[in-house]
């Protein structure tokens, strides 16, 4: 077996991130863990001024001050939009406030990036997409889609290097919920959906980006610690009859950080990917890759973030969003693309609630410019 770690294969990584081409006023509304991360990242970006932070909860605003965030803090969204006039707003509020906050920000003319978008039903996201209209930047915060290793894998799959896809196995696990109290704390306030929408949403989006929306799927879910599902598993059927098997859990010991693994069996070989590395094993040389095993680790894939915050993905995600808000290119996580993944999540819940009955997935109704490339050919 040949193992290659050739610097030339870093071409599979994304191009270097482009920060906003002009000065941009940005703000964050919702100061939980994710909101604080976004505020920290935005504070470091060239050509970005963090002009405001906000949260209805006084304790959340106090925590932000304790972190050293100097931007003016607001308890009320309308006051933030009126006095700070941000051009870009990150919305990291709980589920029960999310849609109304995004709609109000769009009315005020701000570009928006949402945390936890697939926890919303696809119908709600479709309404927000209509409100955004043409030319308005609306993105969703899905860090895994910006992770350098997974971004490289997405391009390898789209390039045709693997040939026909035969089978995909995918999983995402994290150690978060081991009691009813932990389930209530980890799920977004007001949400009725559990692990599929929270832990699984980034995996679903990535799979849809790589292989297209499934034609049909079925899923089962287990409720162990509360009213929401804690584990889920199932299969997708793609056009051409290839099969994706997946499982997600937020109740598996030993994973302090989310761990994602995707294995792809194809006519040209095999691909294995996690947050740490991609391993491509080809039976013969294809495209830019030699026969044998090519390993691509995080340090081998460009770009790397300016600083590490749970990896590179959050920094790259926010950089892509504010660059788009300032007139740059669309990020992969624009709302029009996330809506397709939200339809898949809706179908997963429909199947799980029926005890695993197969469910056909509706196709995306709203398509914007720059849609994903045609997925790789899929066959038996």
CA neighbor of 88 nearest in space, from 40, 8, 29? 29
- What pLDDT, on a 0 to 100 scale, did the predictor assign at position 321? 94
CA angle 15, 17, 19 (to 5 degrees): 145
CA angle 214, 219, 220 (to 5 degrees): 170
Give the mean pLDDT of the chain: 85
Confidence label for 178 from pLDDT (cuts 50, 70 and 90): very high
- What pLDDT, on a 0 to 100 scale, did the predictor assign at position 7? 38
* Strand order through the sheet with 88-91: 72-74, 48-54, 24-29, 88-91, 111-115, 138-141
Kindly tell me if the per-residue pLDDT of 87 is higher than 80.
yes
Kindly tell me if the per-residue pLDDT of 292 is higher than 70.
yes
Kindly tell me if the per-residue pLDDT of 135 is higher than 70.
no
* Strand order through the sheet with 231-237: 3-4, 292-297, 277-282, 269-274, 259-266, 165-173, 243-249, 231-237, 216-222, 359-360
- Please give the average per-residue pLDDT across 263-282, as a whole number: 93
Query: Which is more confident, 83 or 116?
Result: 83
10 Å Cβ neighbour count for 277?
16
Distance CA 357, CA 353 (A): 9
Distance CA 142, CA 314 (A): 8
Q: Is the dihedral of CA 98, 369, 322, 344 positive or negative?
A: positive
Distance CA 230, CA 251 (A): 6
Neighbouring residues of 330: CB distance < 8 A, sequence distance ≥ 6: 137, 324, 368, 369, 370
Query: Which is more confident, 369 or 98?
Result: 98
Neighbouring residues of 112: CB distance < 8 A, sequence distance ≥ 6: 88, 89, 90, 91, 102, 105, 106, 132, 137, 138, 139
- Please give the average per-residue pLDDT across 105-127, as a whole number: 85
- What pLDDT, on a 0 to 100 scale, did the predictor assign at position 242? 83
Neighbouring residues of 56: CB distance < 8 A, sequence distance ≥ 6: 75, 76
Kindly tell me if the per-residue pLDDT of 12 is higher than 60.
no
Kindly tell me if the per-residue pLDDT of 288 is higher than 60.
yes
CA neighbor of 286 nearest in space, from 301, 269, 273? 269
Kindly tell me if the per-residue pLDDT of 75 is higher than 50.
yes
- What pLDDT, on a 0 to 100 scale, did the predictor assign at position 16? 58
pTM recorded for the entire structure: 0.85
Query: Which is more confident, 13 or 40?
Result: 40
- What pLDDT, on a 0 to 100 scale, did the predictor assign at position 118? 65
- Please give the average per-residue pLDDT across 204-218, as a whole number: 90
| Contact present, 187 and 250 (Cβ < 8 Å) | no
Where are the alpha helices (H) located in the chain, listed in sequence order? 33-42, 58-66, 77-84, 95-107, 122-132, 148-159, 180-186, 195-198, 201-211, 313-325, 335-353
- Please give the average per-residue pLDDT across 268-281, as a whole number: 93
- What pLDDT, on a 0 to 100 scale, did the predictor assign at position 4? 41
CA neighbor of 248 nearest in space, from 284, 194, 311? 194
- First-to-last alpha carbon distance for the chain, in angstroms, is 27
Kindly tell me if the per-residue pLDDT of 72 is higher than 70.
yes
Structural domains in the chain plus CATH codes: 18-144 (3.40.50.720), 145-307+332-360 (3.30.360.10)
- Please give the average per-residue pLDDT across 5-33, as a whole number: 71
Distance CA 380, CA 378 (A): 7
Where are the alpha helices (H) located in 133-259, listed in sequence order? 148-159, 180-186, 195-198, 201-211
- What pLDDT, on a 0 to 100 scale, did the predictor assign at position 15? 53
Report CA-CA distances (Å) from 365 to 83, 120, 129, 154: 37, 17, 11, 23
Most confident region among 285-289, 333-337, 371-375 by mean pLDDT: 333-337
- What pLDDT, on a 0 to 100 scale, did the predictor assign at position 207? 93
Kindly tell me if the per-residue pLDDT of 366 is higher than 50.
no
- What pLDDT, on a 0 to 100 scale, did the predictor assign at position 96? 80
Kindly tell me if the per-residue pLDDT of 191 is higher than 90.
no
The pair phi, psi for residue 266, each rounded to 5°, is: -140, 170
Kindly tell me if the per-residue pLDDT of 134 is higher than 70.
no
Confidence label for 121 from pLDDT (cuts 50, 70 and 90): confident
């Amino acid at each position: 077996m040949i193992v290659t770690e050739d610097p030339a294969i870093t071409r599979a990584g994304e191009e270097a991130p482009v920060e906003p081409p002009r000065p941009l006023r940005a703000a964050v509304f919702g100061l939980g863990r994710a909101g604080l991360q976004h505020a920290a990242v935005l504070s470091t970006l060239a050509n970005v001024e963090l002009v405001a932070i906000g949260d209805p909860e006084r304790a959340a605003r106090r925590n932000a001050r304790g972190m050293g965030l100097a931007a003016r803090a607001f308890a009320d969204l309308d006051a933030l939009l009126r006095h700070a006039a941000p051009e870009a707003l990150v919305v990291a509020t709980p589920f029960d406030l999310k849609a109304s906050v995004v709609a109000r920000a769009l009315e005020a003319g701000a570009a928006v990036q949402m945390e936890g978008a697939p926890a919303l039903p696809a119908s709600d996201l479709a309404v927000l997409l209509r409100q955004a209209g043409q030319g308005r930047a609306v993105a969703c915060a899905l860090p895994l889609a910006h992770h350098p290793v997974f971004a490289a894998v997405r391009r390898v799959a789209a390039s045709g290097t693997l040939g026909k896809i035969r089978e995909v196995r995918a999983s995402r696990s994290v150690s978060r919920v081991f009691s009813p109290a932990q389930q209530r704390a980890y799920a977004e306030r007001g949400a009725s959906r559990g692990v599929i929408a929270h832990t699984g949403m980034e995996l679903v989006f990535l799979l849809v980006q790589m292989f297209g929306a499934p034609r049909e799927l079925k899923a089962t879910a287990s409720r162990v610690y509360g009213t929401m599902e804690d584990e889920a598993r199932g299969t997708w059927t793609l056009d051409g009859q290839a099969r994706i098997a997946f499982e997600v859990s937020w109740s598996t010991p030993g994973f302090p950080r989310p761990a994602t693994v995707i294995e792809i069996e194809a006519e040209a070989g095999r691909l294995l990917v996690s947050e740490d590395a991609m391993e491509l094993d080809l039976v013969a040389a294809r495209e830019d890759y030699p026969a044998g095993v090519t390993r691509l680790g995080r340090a081998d894939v460009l770009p790397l973030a300016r600083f590490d915050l749970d990896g590179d993905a959050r920094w790259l995600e926010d950089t892509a969003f504010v660059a788009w808000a300032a007139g740059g290119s669309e990020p992969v996580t624009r709302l029009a693309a996330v809506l397709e993944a939200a339809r898949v999540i809706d179908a997963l819940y429909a199947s799980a609630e029926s005890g695993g009955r197969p469910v056909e997935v509706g196709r995306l109704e709203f398509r914007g410019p720059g849609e994903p490339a045609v997925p790789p050919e899929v066959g038996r």
